[in-house]
């Protein structure tokens, strides 16, 4: 265990400290706003440190990708919370119906207590701080466990949060899978996990004995469906953005593309042109992110070896010396043409710069391909024909959809972000995240005169008649 790691025996005492602090001083609206303002100021001041830490953890990551996916997203979430905090926190009127008139009812957003957050390595700051912002805005204390695969970034998160919050309001646990398993088993008031579906199942199982409510942000095989009417050049450009951003290490990244059969080869050619325009020959690969570690690189290389063994055409869109691939973890954009269902690239979420391209004869065939897999976290239909889009949306189900583009629905913070079934449980972003980390407490206010004063045994005469009338 690294000396910076959190000892296992510190987990429960830290949770106890956070809960005692919350019980003694539940954050009011002024404190929450002040916390978010200080976090915003500290984050902006230390963004350069964040960028350096992430690039060091990845071996190299595009600075512009850090700006877009980390800085822009975190600041947008902070700004929305600061702007909407008062409105989100107000009691919400609920109708009682005429049978209970003149009583009134409301929903009161109430903080839960201590929220646990387990964040992943692929967007190590965004996916840690966005849910933390929601939890703080809702009036909770937070215990964060960031990924061990980005140790420099995790240490930066710990230092940033220690600067903003006292240790009885926000704490950070550092460590690997053993610590993560113990963290998942703590009796939180709510637990959020972002990561793979396989690990999500383990986290949910660990939380179950405590009946800890969980929100799971998972993954899956997100398809792009290019309909026959849609321009190939535009489709290729937008799918390239959704596939090779962060070298494909994105939970909502395009996992495979479906294109009408007569245009498959033209689509491949358009992708080749798009990649060449973006990355050249990768001699100067400053804009191309590396694979996070050797284990992930070897996993992806195994998928490609499996595809070749099955006779699939594998196209490296940029030729890179294999020695450089291994030394720098620089896996180039790669296509696998029409792999069968049993191929590894179709059995597993790829989470890398490998894109299967499959052809279809009719749109119902493409829809059937999507429905043969578990419901994905994202879906990307491309068509200017409204009927085709509606057909795809009505016959499939995904966590979220961007029509005629990729990824960008994630950046709209007033849309919920979350999966369905194996791709996730619950939702984050904006008010949806605020509500996730709140108890929407139902409160019924009875009037001075109430029918309940009359409706009681013995049920006879007018009381009997009234009950029978109300029950019609």
Residue 97 lies in a domain: yes
User: pLDDT tens for residues 361-414?
Assistant: 999 999 999 999 999 999 999 999 999 999 999 999 999 999 999 999 999 999
C-alpha span between 170 and 429 (Å, rounded): 20
| Whether 200 and 97 share a structural domain | yes
- CATH number, domain at 171? 3.40.605.10
Residue 112 CA, chain-centre distance (Å), reads 21
Q: Is 24 exposed, middle or buried (0-12, 13-18, 19+ CB in 10 A)?
A: exposed
Percent of all residues in the chain with a pLDDT value above 70, rounded to a whole number: 99
Can you give the pLDDT at residue 338? 98
Measuring CA to CA, which residue among 280, 256, 294 is closest to residue 332? Answer: 280
Residue 291 has which token pair? 């694979």
Can you give the pLDDT at residue 322? 95
Partners of residue 225 on adjacent β-strands: 258, 381
For 297-325, what is the mean pLDDT? 97
CB 141 within 8 A of CB 14: no
| Whether 377 and 274 share a structural domain | yes
| Whether 280 and 208 share a structural domain | no
Res. 179: pLDDT tops 90: yes
| Whether 118 and 196 share a structural domain | yes
Partners of residue 354 on adjacent β-strands: 334
Measuring CA to CA, which residue among 166, 169, 162, 167 is closest to residue 136? Answer: 169
For 86-92, what is the mean pLDDT? 97
For 197-209, what is the mean pLDDT? 97
CA atoms within 13 A on the CB side of 311: 1
- The single residue of 217, 227, 274, 349 carrying the catalytic annotation is 217
C-alpha span between 96 and 154 (Å, rounded): 48
- CATH number, domain at 250? 3.40.309.10
C-alpha span between 272 and 276 (Å, rounded): 6
| Whether 175 and 307 share a structural domain | no
Domains identified in the chain, total number: 2
- The single residue of 251, 274, 312, 349 carrying the catalytic annotation is 251
Q: How far are the Cα atoms of 78, 148, 166, 213, 341 from residue 142, in angstroms, in the given order?
A: 16, 19, 11, 15, 42
For 126-144, what is the mean pLDDT? 98
Q: What is the pTM of this model?
A: 0.95
For 205-233, what is the mean pLDDT? 97
Res. 252: pLDDT tops 60: yes
The residue behind tokens 């749109």 is: 363
Residue 83 lies in a domain: yes
Percent of all residues in the chain with a pLDDT value above 90, rounded to a whole number: 96
| H or E segment and range at residue 291 | none
Residue 411 has which token pair? 């950046």
Residue 302 lies in a domain: yes
| Whether 288 and 335 share a structural domain | yes
C-alpha span between 150 and 152 (Å, rounded): 6
| H or E segment and range at residue 317 | none
Taking every pair of Cα atoms in the chain, the longest distance, rounded to a whole number of angstroms, is: 92
Can you give the pLDDT at residue 1? 37
| Whether 353 and 438 share a structural domain | no
Residue 361 has which token pair? 């004869």
Domain with 366, as residue range(s), is 223-411
Round the average pLDDT of the chain to a whole number and report it: 96
**End-of-domain residue from the set 369, 388, 411:** 411
| Whether 15 and 155 share a structural domain | yes
Told to judge if 217 belongs to the known catalytic residues of this protein, a careful annotator would answer yes
Can you give the pLDDT at residue 452? 87
Residue 470 lies in a domain: no
Residue 3 lies in a domain: no
| Whether 438 and 369 share a structural domain | no
What contacts 439, CB < 8 A, 6 or more positions away?
A: 109, 110, 111, 112
| Whether 188 and 39 share a structural domain | yes
Residue 459 lies in a domain: no
Residue 135 lies in a domain: yes
Measuring CA to CA, which residue among 41, 52, 114, 40 is closest to residue 76? Answer: 40
Residue 148's pLDDT band (cuts 50, 70, 90): very high
| Whether 73 and 213 share a structural domain | yes
Residue 460 lies in a domain: no
| Whether 374 and 428 share a structural domain | no
Residue 465's pLDDT band (cuts 50, 70, 90): very high
């Amino acid at each position: 265990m690294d000396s910076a790691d959190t000892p296992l025996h510190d987990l429960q005492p830290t949770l106890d400290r956070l809960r005692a602090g919350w019980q003694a001083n539940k954050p009011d609206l002024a404190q929450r706003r002040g916390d978010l303002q200080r976090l915003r100021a500290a984050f902006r001041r230390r963004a350069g440190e964040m960028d350096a830490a992430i690039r060091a953890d990845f071996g190299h990551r595009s600075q512009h990708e850090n700006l877009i996916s980390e800085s822009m997203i975190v600041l947008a979430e902070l700004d929305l919370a600061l702007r909407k905090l008062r409105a989100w926190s107000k009691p919400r009127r609920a109708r009682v119906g005429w049978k209970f008139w003149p009583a009134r009812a409301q929903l009161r957003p109430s903080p839960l207590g201590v929220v646990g957050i387990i964040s992943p390595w692929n967007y190590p700051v965004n996916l840690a701080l966005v849910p933390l912002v929601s939890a703080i805005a809702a009036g909770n204390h937070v215990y964060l466990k960031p990924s061990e695969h980005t140790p420099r970034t995790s240490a930066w998160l710990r230092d940033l949060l220690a600067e903003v919050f006292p240790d009885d309001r926000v704490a950070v646990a550092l460590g690997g899978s053993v610590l993560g398993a113990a963290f998942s088993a703590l009796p939180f008031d709510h637990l959020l996990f972002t990561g793979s579906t396989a690990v999500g199942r383990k986290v949910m199982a660990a939380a179950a004995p405590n009946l800890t409510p969980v929100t799971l942000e998972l993954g899956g095989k997100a398809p792009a469906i290019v309909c026959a009417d849609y321009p190939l050049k535009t489709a290729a450009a937008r799918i390239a953005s959704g596939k090779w951003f962060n070298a494909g290490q994105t939970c909502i990244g395009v996992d495979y593309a479906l294109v009408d059969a007569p245009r498959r080869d033209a689509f491949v050619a358009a992708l080749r042109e798009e990649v060449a325009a973006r990355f050249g020959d990768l001699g100067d690969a400053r804009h191309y992110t590396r694979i996070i570690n050797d284990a992930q690189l070897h996993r992806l290389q195994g998928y490609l070896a499996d595809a070749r063994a099955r006779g699939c055409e594998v196209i490296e869109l940029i030729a890179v010396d294999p020695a450089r691939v291994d030394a720098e973890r620089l896996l180039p954009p790669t296509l696998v043409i029409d792999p069968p269902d049993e191929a590894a690239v179709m059995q597993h979420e790829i989470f890398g710069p490998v894109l299967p391209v499959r052809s279809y004869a009719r749109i119902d065939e493409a829809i059937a391909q999507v429905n043969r897999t578990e419901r994905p976290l994202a879906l990307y239909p491309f068509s200017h024909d409204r009927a085709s889009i509606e057909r795809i949306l009505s016959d499939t189900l995904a966590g979220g959809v961007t029509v005629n583009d990729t990824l960008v629905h994630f950046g709209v913070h007033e849309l919920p972000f979350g999966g369905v079934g194996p791709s996730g449980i619950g939702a984050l972003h904006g008010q949806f995240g605020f509500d996730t980390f709140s108890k929407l407490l139902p409160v019924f206010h009875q009037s001075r005169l109430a029918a309940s004063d009359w409706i009681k045994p013995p049920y006879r005469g007018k009381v009997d008649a009234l009950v029978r009338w109300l029950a019609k």
